[in-house]
């Protein structure tokens, strides 16, 4: 397919064009040149402080000449795709409140990929004289060790059983043909890596950097071992993921990706990686320290860099938690019909969750909190509130905590459980304590909620509407 042809439905460029036409107020293009050294992160952070999370386009990004691990490449950059829950809902054709159910409905509709003879990702294929400094990598924070790929979806296949896996892994520029990356030691890619190690050979892998946002959402899915996230991508699209094979290892990658790096992760090589600004808001190292040796660079003509904002940005948190939230909401509602809503607030990174419920019997809130704390290994604190509390607003949950909660009777604490390796407060061996706070009113609560009449609220809205039109 030539770049002059009509972009396909799974093409990021078509998504961007369609979204910009439909929601121009939710897209911000920064036309003036910006540096790849922190300026994109700084602009997104300044907007977030104003409560704004638009999809961001940067057509002129200068190489990060002043940053550690200098890169020479420059390209237009798109970021903050997932910065808004409303925008994620639009990707799925629903409003923000419908994300969980729609994501689960689509993700269960598994569809095997459809292999194409060719695709735009094969426009330019380089297998000799690899130099990753030619890629438009960003230096996100002053505390980062080097430029990082934040949107690296690594695809690999079991060396004997053949099933595939794809998952996000941060990757640091390490040299002309090498990236220092961090495989998650509890993740499925680590299992494939160990299987290759037992056979005494490296693990073939392909890193996709930039594709349609529904493909990216599939990369964040949580599946049982042996299930392939590329099949989830097909479900999210409502059509098989269109793929082509990489030239050296024959790995199926999206035909409409922007960049793909093909190579091997060698179990005999270890390299230092980090610090990097993670979802906790702190810069962290990792313990696995793997080397990804790049053997091929695949890219589209005029390829654009698709970045995921680092740190505890709304984008970073939303991309990781929408699949987790969706799974948890489904589990809870199946087991506990009294649950009306679940929310993982940005203020709690991935470590806090709020649950709203219509409590049918004493102790039910505690049982629900224990269920959620047991199912999600990232969670440290769950707050349960009544169904009339808006759990999308931290201040409403804190109000319920202030007025309904008594510490001596409404706290449950468990210790010595596995936690996130990136939690800066966790023990050196990665365990954490977990807490449930019951901020529901309870059967003996004695209080009358102050409220306004519907007539007064209607009248107020009429008056304010007239004032705004003046």
* CATH code of 374's domain: 3.40.1670.10
Task: Let me know if residue 134 belongs to a domain.
Answer: yes
Query: Residue 180 to residues 113, 169, 301, 384: CA-CA distances in angstroms?
Result: 29, 10, 26, 41
Q: How far apart are CA 42 and CA 226, in angstroms?
A: 40
In DSSP terms, 245 is beta-bridged to 252
Query: Residue 323 to residues 42, 156, 190, 194, 330: CA-CA distances in angstroms?
Result: 27, 21, 20, 26, 11
Q: How far apart are CA 176 and CA 116, in angstroms?
A: 31
Closest CA to 126 of 6, 262, 13: 262
Q: How far apart are CA 44 and CA 24, in angstroms?
A: 18
pLDDT exceeds cutoff 90 at 262: yes
- Whether the Cβ atoms of residue 260 and residue 253 lie closer than 8 Å to each other: yes
Same domain, 345 and 418: yes
Task: Let me know if residue 465 belongs to a domain.
Answer: no
Same domain, 28 and 106: yes
Out of 66-75, 102-111, 223-232, 453-462, least confident range = 66-75
CATH number of the domain enclosing 77: 2.30.110.10
pLDDT exceeds cutoff 70 at 1: no
pLDDT exceeds cutoff 70 at 66: no
In DSSP terms, 252 is beta-bridged to 245
- Whether the Cβ atoms of residue 19 and residue 12 lie closer than 8 Å to each other: no
Range of the domain at 381: 336-438
Task: Let me know if residue 421 belongs to a domain.
Answer: yes
What is the pLDDT at residue 70?
Answer: 59
Give every CB contact of residue 162 below 8 A, 6+ residues apart in sequence: none
pLDDT exceeds cutoff 50 at 5: no
As for how many domains the chain has, the answer is 2
What is the pLDDT at residue 428?
Answer: 62
Same domain, 241 and 308: yes
Task: Let me know if residue 423 belongs to a domain.
Answer: yes
Q: How far apart are CA 160 and CA 174, in angstroms?
A: 30
- Whether the Cβ atoms of residue 317 and residue 349 lie closer than 8 Å to each other: yes
Tell me the pLDDT band of 2, cut-offs 50, 70 and 90: very low
Classify each residue of 111-120 as buried b or exposed e, where b means 16 or more C-beta atoms within 10 Å of its C-beta.
bebeebeebb
- Whether the Cβ atoms of residue 36 and residue 66 lie closer than 8 Å to each other: no
Same domain, 292 and 350: no
In terms of DSSP bridges, do strands 114-115 and 242-245 run parallel, antiparallel, or are they unpaired?
parallel
Tell me the pLDDT band of 274, cut-offs 50, 70 and 90: confident
Q: How far apart are CA 236 and CA 231, in angstroms?
A: 9
What is the pLDDT at residue 434?
Answer: 92
Same domain, 240 and 377: no
Neighbours of 89 (CB within 10 A): 18
Same domain, 341 and 229: no
Same domain, 308 and 397: no
- The arrangement of strands across the sheet holding 252-254 comes to 114-115, 242-245, 252-254
Same domain, 340 and 282: no
Task: Let me know if residue 461 belongs to a domain.
Answer: no
Same domain, 293 and 395: no
Radius of gyration of the chain (CA): 23
Q: How far apart are CA 416 and CA 71, in angstroms?
A: 44
pLDDT exceeds cutoff 50 at 4: no
177: left (phi over 0), alpha (psi -120 to 50) or beta: alpha
Task: Let me know if residue 310 belongs to a domain.
Answer: yes
In DSSP terms, 277 is beta-bridged to 283
Over residues 204-225, the mean pLDDT reads: 93
Same domain, 247 and 382: no
Same domain, 290 and 213: yes
Q: How far apart are CA 109 and CA 88, in angstroms?
A: 19
Same domain, 113 and 171: yes
Give the end of a domain, one of 314, 345, 362. Answer: 314
User: Dihedrals φ, ψ of 102, to 5°?
Assistant: -70, -40
Measured N-to-C along each axis, helices 314-335 and 99-107 cross at an angle, to the nearest 10 degrees, of: 80
Over residues 389-396, the mean pLDDT reads: 94
In terms of DSSP bridges, do strands 431-438 and 381-386 run parallel, antiparallel, or are they unpaired?
parallel
What is the pLDDT at residue 385?
Answer: 97
End-to-end CA distance of the chain: 53
Task: Let me know if residue 433 belongs to a domain.
Answer: yes
What is the pLDDT at residue 456?
Answer: 96
pTM (predicted TM-score): 0.87
Task: Let me know if residue 300 belongs to a domain.
Answer: yes
Tell me the pLDDT band of 71, cut-offs 50, 70 and 90: low
């Amino acid at each position: 397919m030539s770049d002059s042809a009509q972009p396909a439905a799974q093409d990021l460029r078509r998504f961007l064009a369609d979204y910009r036409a439909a929601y121009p107020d939710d897209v911000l293009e920064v036309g003036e040149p910006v540096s790849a050294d922190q300026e994109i992160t700084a602009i997104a952070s300044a907007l977030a402080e104003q409560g704004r999370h638009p999809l961001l386009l940067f057509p002129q990004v200068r190489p990060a000449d002043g940053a550690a691990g200098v890169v020479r490449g420059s390209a237009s950059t798109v970021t903050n795709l997932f910065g808004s829950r409303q925008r994620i809902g639009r990707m799925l054709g629903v409003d923000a409140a419908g994300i969980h159910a729609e994501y689960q409905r689509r993700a269960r509709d598994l569809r095997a990929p459809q292999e194409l003879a060719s695709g735009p990702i094969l426009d330019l294929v380089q297998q000799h004289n690899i130099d990753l400094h030619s890629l438009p990598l960003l230096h996100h924070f002053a505390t980062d060790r080097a430029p990082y790929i934040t949107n690296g979806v690594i695809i690999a296949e079991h060396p004997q059983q053949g099933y595939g896996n794809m998952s996000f892994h941060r990757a640091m520029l390490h040299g002309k043909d090498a990236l220092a990356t961090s495989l998650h030691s509890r993740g499925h890619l680590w299992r494939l890596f160990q299987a290759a190690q037992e056979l005494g050979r490296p693990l073939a892998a392909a890193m996709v950097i930039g594709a349609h946002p529904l493909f990216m959402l599939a990369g964040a899915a949580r599946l049982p071992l042996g299930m392939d996230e590329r099949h989830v991508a097909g479900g999210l699209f409502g059509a098989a993921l269109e793929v082509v094979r990489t030239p050296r290892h024959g790995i199926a990658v999206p035909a409409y990706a922007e960049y793909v790096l093909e190579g091997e992760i060698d179990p005999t090589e270890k390299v230092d990686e980090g610090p990097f600004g993670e979802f906790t808001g702190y810069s962290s190292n990792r313990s696995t320290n793997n080397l990804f040796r790049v053997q091929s660079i695949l890219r589209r003509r005029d390829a654009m860099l698709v970045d995921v904002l680092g740190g505890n940005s709304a984008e970073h948190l939303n991309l990781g938690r929408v699949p987790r939230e969706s799974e948890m909401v489904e589990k809870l509602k199946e087991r506990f019909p009294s649950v009306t809503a679940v929310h993982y607030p940005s203020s709690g990174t991935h470590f806090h969750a709020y649950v709203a419920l219509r409590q049918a019997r004493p102790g039910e809130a505690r049982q629900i909190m224990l269920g959620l704390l047991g199912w999600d290994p990232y969670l440290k604190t769950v707050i349960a509130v009544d169904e009339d509390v808006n759990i999308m607003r931290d201040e409403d949950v804190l109000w319920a905590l202030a007025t309904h909660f008594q510490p001596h009777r409404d706290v449950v604490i468990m210790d010595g459980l596995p936690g996130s390796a990136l939690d800066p407060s966790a023990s050196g061996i990665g365990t954490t304590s977990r807490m449930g706070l019951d901020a529901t009113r309870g059967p003996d609560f004695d209080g009358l909620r102050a409220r306004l009449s519907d007539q007064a609220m209607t009248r107020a809205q009429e008056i304010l509407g007239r004032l705004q039109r003046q």
